[in-house]
Structure 1
Amino acid sequence: MSSRISGLSAIAPNYKGALCDIWGVLHNGVAYFDDAAVALQNFRKQSGPVILVTNAPRPNGPIKAQLERLGVPSDSYDDVVTSGDVTRSALIATGKTKLLHLGPERDLSLYDDLDVVLVGEEEAEMVCCTGLLNEFEETPDDYDDILQSIARRNLPFICANPDRVVQKGERMFFCAGALSDRFEAFGGETTLVGKPQAPIYEASLAALDAANGSPLDKSDVLIIGDSLPTDMRGGHYQKIDSLFITSGIHVADFGPAEAPDDAKVNLRLTHEDVETVAYMPFLGW
């Protein structure tokens, strides 16, 4: 049974480091949440380093720049690890060079300095999916033809963002994870590198150790996130304590955003077969 806490300060003394999600916890793509930034600042002062961990399918440089544009205080975190960072390693590991990019142009920085050539579907030896080309107008249904064609050819399919949806302001948009699900439904096999899979946690824990100056035991680490399939599932897979923020992508499932129904939250956690040390509507100290 997960209990609601009034602030991160209630459990922070139990930990020496944190892995915190970004989108839905620290900002909503339009503005950052001041209370969340203050909570992370206080955690860093009193407990230990904070690594921001995101399924954004770009290297951490552009994500740090985005945080700066949104006004996120730089002293609320120590470093950023992205799904894009670990995707680059996965692309190199294939040993292939002819790549079909399935996603918007803004994600092309993912391939900077990599030995890959962007080609069309017919020439492709592998596929990297970062999202929908036009998230404002398209749905996964629009990709059925190309996904079926890729599945028939058994092309390696790397999903650079396992998130199914993201909340931007007041709207929800589909992400690469939704296309990955559809691809698997057509018989294709995907490689997921972001949350909840191990590669991104290996990179994130390494960054946490570096910020701390010495290795931390997983029992001293707290995961903070708003997604059950990625953040909370990642905590379950890694056996790391998790704090669930209910006002993110699942907000509509639990009643009023400011006052989520305890029974509904715990029923959903049971249904997802994940455990959390506590939950909060919004991250705050």
Structure 2
Amino acid sequence: MTLPQPLPRLSAVAADYDILLCDVWGVIHNGRESWPGPCDALSRFNRQGGHVVLISNSPRPADGVIGQMDGLGVPRDAWRTIVTSGDATRMELAKRAPGPAWLIGPDRDQPLYEGLGLEIATGPEDAAFISVTGPDDDEVETPEDYRERFRPAVERNLEMICANPDRVVQRGDRLIYCAGSLADLYESMGGRVTMAGKPFAPIYDLALAEAERLLGRGVDRSRVLCIGDGVVTDVLGAEAQGLDCLFIAQGIHGDAARASNGGLDPVRAAGLLAAETTRARYAALDLGW
């Protein structure tokens, strides 16, 4: 088991990187409030000549995430640009228009479909495929609420497009189910699933294209650092892309990587990573400068 290097301060390695591909939810906010320390660290990285590209598994296009972050008090100077799973997923949906598509998810995610020319199915019986952004009501529903609804779709061999590969996300002091948990259930029942967000390549292709635009030149991948709290999304995605990663071992993992003295326990952090057969170069409980 390879232990990650503890990294309590981003400033210790900031000069080694031109680009940060930084996760949003669980690193700089929890859906209810933003965290000053991580926001300040990203702002300082930008001010020193680096470029922060926020890379989010939100099923909404980037404009919707910007509005949310403004509302949570995330300063605009903490990032240069944003790429979302919604942005990458729109490309997949456009290939399958006009559908019809059986849409699952809350009304707030409707901007994902604007301008794509998709027809809306009433259910699996008249759908050509499924598009999932999350549970219809993520405050109360669990994946098991969808098992019986999915059976006819599996029987018809309908493909599911999952707009958010995250399984859970922290909202305040609670963990909320995301679209990835529904995709896991659908796949376990024999269904076909396609995803474009982290850890899959399409969202990284978009993010690195944005990094190239910001730099005005090609990207040296050895000078790109990914930051995130999701092992199966952020860390696995960075490893698949051959990029360094700072694993934020708190977030959705609670105190699982915390030592008895309150600091990071690298062995526990490595255990979280090894459970998903991945590793990260660095680990910290949270992001600080």
Confirm or deny a common fold (TM above 0.5). Answer: yes
Q: Does residue 220 of the first structure (1) align with residue 223 of the second (2)?
A: yes
Find the partner of 1:28 among 9, 12, 30.
Answer: 30
Q: How many residues align?
A: 285
Q: Which amino acid aligns with 2:154?
A: A
Cα distance in 1 between the residues matched to 2:226 and 2:5: 16
- What percentage of aligned pairs have identical amino acids? 40
Question: In structure 2, what is the equivalent of residue 246 of structure 1?
Answer: 249
CA contact (8 A) 1:12 1:47 kept: no
Find the partner of 2:281 among 271, 274, 277.
Answer: 277
Structure 1: runs of 5+ lacking an equivalent? none
Question: In structure 2, what is the equivalent of residue 150 of structure 1?
Answer: 153
Question: In structure 2, what is the equivalent of residue 202 of structure 1?
Answer: 205
CA contact (8 A) 1:101 1:128 kept: yes
Question: In structure 1, what is the equivalent of residue 264 of structure 2?
Answer: 260
Question: In structure 1, what is the equivalent of residue 94 of structure 2?
Answer: 92
CA contact (8 A) 2:198 2:233 kept: yes
**Aligned residues: CA RMSD:** 1.4
Cα distance in 2 between the residues matched to 1:123 and 1:256: 53
**Mapping for residues 1-285 of structure 1, pairs under 5 Å:** 1-121=3-123, 122-255=125-258, 258-285=262-289
Q: Which amino acid aligns with 2:179?
A: A
Q: Which amino acid aligns with 1:20?
A: C
How far the C-alpha of 1:95 sits from its partner, in A, is 4.3
Cα distance in 2 between the residues matched to 1:252 and 1:161: 25
Cα distance in 2 between the residues matched to 1:111 and 1:95: 10
Q: Which amino acid aligns with 2:21?
A: L
Q: Which amino acid aligns with 2:195?
A: L
TM-score, structure 1 normalization:
0.97
How far the C-alpha of 1:246 sits from its partner, in A, is 1.1
Cα distance in 2 between the residues matched to 1:243 and 1:255: 16
Instruction: Classify the secondary structure of the residue corresponding to 2:64.
Output: helix
Q: Which amino acid aligns with 2:215?
A: N
How far the C-alpha of 1:186 sits from its partner, in A, is 0.8
CA contact (8 A) 2:23 2:234 kept: yes
How far the C-alpha of 1:256 sits from its partner, in A, is 6.2
Instruction: Classify the secondary structure of the residue corresponding to 2:5.
Output: coil
Q: Which amino acid aligns with 1:22?
A: V
Cα distance in 2 between the residues matched to 1:243 and 1:207: 20
Which range is displaced more, 151-160 or 267-276? 267-276
Deviations 1:10-60 (A, max 9, x none): 111111111000000010001111111110011112251110010000111
How far the C-alpha of 1:131 sits from its partner, in A, is 0.3
Instruction: Classify the secondary structure of the residue corresponding to 1:80.
Output: strand
Structure 2: runs of 5+ lacking an equivalent? none
How far the C-alpha of 1:185 sits from its partner, in A, is 0.8
Instruction: Classify the secondary structure of the residue corresponding to 2:206.
Output: helix
Instruction: Classify the secondary structure of the residue corresponding to 1:242.
Output: strand
Cα distance in 2 between the residues matched to 1:93 and 1:104: 23
Deviations 1:259-278 (A, max 9, x none): 23222112222332222121
Deviations 1:152-184 (A, max 9, x none): 111121000000000000000110000000001
CA contact (8 A) 1:96 1:125 kept: no
How far the C-alpha of 1:242 sits from its partner, in A, is 0.2
CA contact (8 A) 2:273 2:279 kept: yes
Instruction: Classify the secondary structure of the residue corresponding to 1:163.
Output: coil
Instruction: Classify the secondary structure of the residue corresponding to 1:222.
Output: strand
TM-score, structure 2 normalization:
0.95
